[in-house]
Amino acid sequence: MSTHVTTRHPARDDVTFGGGTVRPTRSRRWSIAGIGAGLSGLGILATTTMVNGVYDQDLAGHPQAIADKIAGQTGAMFAFHSIAVVGALLLVVFGVGLFHRLRAVAADSAAPLIALAGLLGTAVVVVLGSGLDTEFMMSLSFDDSSVDVYNTALYNHWIGTIPWVWVLSGLAGLATFSVSRLGGVPRWIGRVGLVLGGLTLLLGISPLEYMAGLTGALMVLVTAVGFTFGDKQFRHQ
């Protein structure tokens, strides 16, 4: 007499982690935060471009004139600081949400963690890019002469470059593309990640690394819009 034992392993959409069961969220709040992060990224580019004393060819070689022009652009500095910090915070929320979304369909892949690391790293870069703001915009606003004119010119170079270095966000785009190939993410979102994420990485590797701010911010924005409005099949499972 033979005995047959049948064991069933039903498909699950939850993940056991730390002794508990974690279910992937169907909420869109994290992707809406990503829309805000992408728009903030574009806002960073716009406001830092408005602080342009050091890039004025007519003032080249005249540090005091450069400092005087920058002193008249403190409004853009205040706007940049707020936009940058809020954007960085939203980028963290988006990164965590994207991690959970990708892990829900690719738990055994490194892609979710790579996406999170890329966006968290970008958030850190943006915060550091805005780290000198108070030191300069407050001093220039009140004309207390506590900041050297040469340092003011350097500050203009700083905010015109560092907050634009979104190269690490490109990892999130390629990670999303990787998961999309498994069928767990809408293919068009994956293609956006491949094109804009890949271009972001290539620009970051090149001497034009600051241009990664444009492609990286666009990648975050379009990806977030896609998950907010075009991921209905996953949310309705």
Could you state, in order of their start, the residue ranges of all structural domains in the chain?
A: 28-230
Summarised one tens digit per residue, pLDDT across range 55-112 is 999 998 899 999 999 999 999 999 999 999 999 999 999 999 999 999 999 989 999 9
Q: Tokens standing for 200?
A: 């972001």
Spatial distance between the Cα atoms of 207 and 156, rounded to a whole number of angstroms: 19
The pLDDT value recorded for residue 88 is: 98
Residue 8 gets which letter from DSSP? -
Summarised one tens digit per residue, pLDDT across range 69-81 is 999 999 999 999 9
pTM above 0.75, yes or no: yes
Residue 194 gets which letter from DSSP? I
Coil, helix or strand at residue 204: helix
Spatial distance between the Cα atoms of 153 and 130, rounded to a whole number of angstroms: 15
- Where are the strands (E) in the chain, listed by range? 15-17, 20-22
Measured CA to CA in angstroms, residue 230 lies from 18, 139, 188, 203, 236 at distances of 31, 47, 10, 28, 12
Q: What angle (nearest 5°) sits at the alpha carbon of residue 95, between those of residues 224 and 25?
A: 75
The pLDDT value recorded for residue 12 is: 42
Residue 9: how many other CB atoms lie within 10 Å: 5
Give the DSSP letter string of 22-40: EPPP--SHHHHHHHHHHHH
Summarised one tens digit per residue, pLDDT across range 162-192 is 999 999 999 999 999 999 998 889 999 999 9
Q: Is the pLDDT of residue 13 over 90?
A: no
Spatial distance between the Cα atoms of 183 and 187, rounded to a whole number of angstroms: 7
Q: Tokens standing for 222?
A: 């379009």
Residue 223 contacts residue 34 (beta carbons within 8 Å):
yes
